[in-house]
Every structure is written in C-alpha cells, then in structure tokens.
Homo-oligomer: A and B are copies of this chain.
Amino acid sequence: MSKTANVRPKRAVRRPDANDGRAAAPIDLGVLPNLVGYMLRRAQLAVFQDFWRVYEAYDIRPAQYAVLIVIDRNPGLRQSQVSAALNIKRANLVALLDSLEQRGLAKRVPVATDRRSYALHLTEDGAALLKKLGELSAAHEQRVSATIGESGRKELLRLLHGVVQAVGSSAPDDDES
C-alpha cells in the first residue's frame, strides 16, 4: 500500500521459498487428498493440535489423557494391558507412566501375586485432574465438529470404527511413521 512498500527492492519482499512466482501458486497434492490414510493423518494432526490448545494449560497430551481415562475406568490394570488396550508401545508407555507418577497423578502398586508387574491406579490428584479434563473435552469435540456438525461427527466415528475393524489395529510394537 504505502509508497515505501512500493519502492522496496523486489528481493527484500521475496519469500525464501519463492521460485519464479510459483511460491504463491497452490501446490498440487495429486492423489493424496483422495487417500484415506493421508486424510486420516492430516485430520489426526489437526485434531491433536486443537486438543493441545485446550489441554496445554494442564500439560496433558492426548496419550496421557487416554491412559488416565483407562486407569480410572480399570483400577488395578497392568501396564501390559494398558499398552495393548491403547496400542501404545511398551517403552513409550513406561516413560508416560513415569511422568504421570512423578507428577503425582498415577501410582504403580506392587502386585503380591506377581512380582513382575504393577497394578496401576490414579491418585486423588489424578482423579481430580481427569474430572477437570473431562469437563473441557466438550469444547474440543465441538470445535472438531464445527464444520461437519454433530450428525457428521457421529457418522465420522461410525466410519472410523469401521476402518479400524476393516484393517485392524496396529500392534504396540509397530512403527507408525
């Protein structure tokens, strides 16, 4: 707009990724937007980012939220069961539980009948935090269904369950990248 802007040399306003004007042109994604895997990944990243916007203040990631929910619903559950139920690699789950334990949200209780495993429980703080997180999730889900609507959200869930059923859930030790 301003005169000074107009007299600025081209190179100064040129974006680093500019290449003979193509930078401004939309990038052709080819078949990708029609591939379920690609769109699942894009949607998952977008939703997880929105999740983070909502739960950032509580320093809770989606995987931590899921683990808190499962421990709350199944007190005394074993690590191996959480790993299988949530499809989280054993090593990642150990680190995740370490952090929840260090933060005083969950605790590992030795099992008298099985020296090798621990029963997982939420602490009072963990249960209180989970209650708070649950209250926040409505806002997140509403934002997710902002464009597709509540009926679209229900249909999406139905189709996602169908996909998981169709191709099966990946094993905890499978690489996802």
Binding site for B on A (CB under 8 A): 14, 16-20, 22-23, 27-52, 61-63, 66, 69-70, 72-74, 76-78, 80-82, 84-87, 111, 113-114, 116-117, 119, 134, 137, 140-141, 143-148, 152-153, 155-157, 159-171, 174-177
Return the contact of A143 from the options B20, B61, B153, B166 (Cβ within 8 A).
B166
Q: Assuming A30-B70, A70-B30, A81-B27, is B159 touching A61 (CB within 8 A)?
A: no
Residues of B within 8 A of A39 (CB): 156-157, 160-161, 164
CB distance from A83 to the nearest CB of B (A): 9
CB pairs A–B below 8 angstroms (19 shown): A18-B114, A22-B77, A27-B77, A29-B69, A30-B73, A36-B141, A36-B144, A36-B157, A37-B51, A38-B62, A42-B169, A43-B160, A49-B171, A50-B167, A52-B175, A61-B177, A143-B166, A143-B167, A155-B155
- Closest B residue to A68 using CB positions: B30
CB distance from A92 to the nearest CB of B (A): 9
Return the contact of A23 from the options B34, B81, B87, B167 (Cβ within 8 A).
B81
For the residues of A in contact with B, the DSSP-based class is helix
Q: Most B CB atoms within 10 A — which of A78, A162, A168?
A: A162
Q: Assuming A19-B119, A28-B73, A148-B159, is B42 touching A87 (CB within 8 A)?
A: yes
Taken together, the copies of this chain in the complex come to 2
- Taking a contact as CB atoms under 8 Å apart, the answer to whether B164 and A42 are in contact is yes
Top 10 A-B pairs, shortest CB-CB distance: A49-B170, A147-B166, A17-B80, A148-B162, A39-B160, A146-B166, A28-B73, A40-B44, A50-B167, A27-B85
